[in-house]
Structure 1
């Protein structure tokens, strides 16, 4: 049994698209080393925090954008 009603308008793909401002992770707040580690799905350890600090120092807070969709 169909759940849609005949003649009902289907939303266009543009109506279902996620707005660009929702696709970015930056919220205007500072990105921490812990944020970077968690974005990779790894456990927060001294080793992963050191990696994240180096990554942030080299690439800045925009580095997290490369890790998240």
Structure 2
């Protein structure tokens, strides 16, 4: 009895890996720009509401841009 191959449904051949690989430039939390409260709210998986924006403003005031780095892998 053989075991199913987890990648059996994925396309094979030239270019198949390129379709699944995230470009390195998209993997970084910041690109040298300022972190906005909206960025922090979205990275935390929260809805953009006034209460969540206020939470993000306080967190950014306390921790600076590193607050975003702490939320993202």
- Asked if TM exceeds 0.5, the reply is yes
Is residue 33–residue 49 contact of structure 1 (8 Å, CA) maintained in 2? yes
Distance of 1:52 and 1:63 partners within structure 2: 9
Gaps of 5+ in 1: 1-18
Consecutive aligned runs of 4 or more in structure 1 exceeding 6 Å deviation = none
Indicate which of 49, 54, 60 corresponds to 1:50. 54
Secondary structure at 2:72 match in 1: coil
Gaps of 5+ in 2: 1-23
Is residue 25–residue 65 contact of structure 1 (8 Å, CA) maintained in 2? yes
- Equivalenced residue count is 52
Q: Taking CA–CA contacts closer than 8 Å with sequence separation of 6 or more, which of the two structures ends up with the larger relative contact order? A: 1
What RMSD over aligned residues (CA atoms) do the two structures have, in Å?
Answer: 1.9
